[in-house]
Structure 1
Amino acid sequence: MLELKPNFKIMMVGSTEADIEDACQKPDDLGEIIDDLDEIETEEESLENSSIYLAKIQKRIKEYKITELNAPRPDKHLLVLDIDYTLFDHRSPAECGAELMRPYLHEFLTSAYEHYDIVIWSATGMRWIEEKCVCCVTNRDSYKIMFYLDSNAMISVHTRTEVL
């Protein structure tokens, strides 16, 4: 029960049963229905083949220099791992790279190395990648890092589609 003061005004808003039933019916003059998912797929396909982005990729391939730490092994796929939040706890208050390492990192990399060549990637600069990795993950007997990739290896892609 509502406890309202005397002479309190209430506005009631709603729809009649007939209006609700009418709104649930498909209109006769609906027109063509456009599937939004088809538009998104079309845009993604056009991005792949966009001359602007293909040119950016070609430029990166031509100009970006990879410093190979260890040669690729025959019949091994490539596993690219992000440093921050994956291999290292980037938000940790630790003071050195060894304290940033995720638990069982060496065991994970050893296991992964049985099946994959390993590359370490970061959206930061090469200086920070090397700073974190040299003391912790390079020069191990149980696994080898093939090379590092930094932010200079990436390109920017801009779309009109809003990501939800």
Structure 2
Amino acid sequence: MTYDDSALVRRLSPEMQAMMGVYALYWKLEESFAALEVELSHQECHMVIKLDEPKRMGVLAADMLTVPSTITSTADALEQAGYLARQRDPADRRAWLLVLTEKGQDMRQMLVLEAGALFHRAAGLDADETAEFARLARKIRENIMKTGIPEGLKK
């Protein structure tokens, strides 16, 4: 069963239309990601995506908007499963870097590709529209990050 409220939405202000679109996109993507058949938790997938380069755990905690203890337990699970390794930071031999293994890099590549495909199916945007949406979404995110991180992003 489909539900069509497009006539109602068109009568709303642009701000309300934008909010309703973002909300619908969020829930559609959540549903789609939940259906992905990967052995990793949501938090573990998030960490794998954020590890585009070796990072210290404190930097990764800030990137993921979480506390270091969460990073430690997630990193432990990913390390045990063979997705990442800890290496000494050459700039400070007392510190550790988290580095994706080959298995982790393969998982990250798969997640990035699958996320892109899920986004395109859910959003129905072409390449130019996606680039414009990404530009606007980055601007929105930067403003939100400057004005105070919402509790939902801290989880």
TM-score normalised by structure 2 residue count = 0.30
Hey, which of these two has a bigger chunk of helix by percent?
2
TM-score normalised by structure 1 residue count = 0.28
Q: Rg bigger for which structure?
A: 1
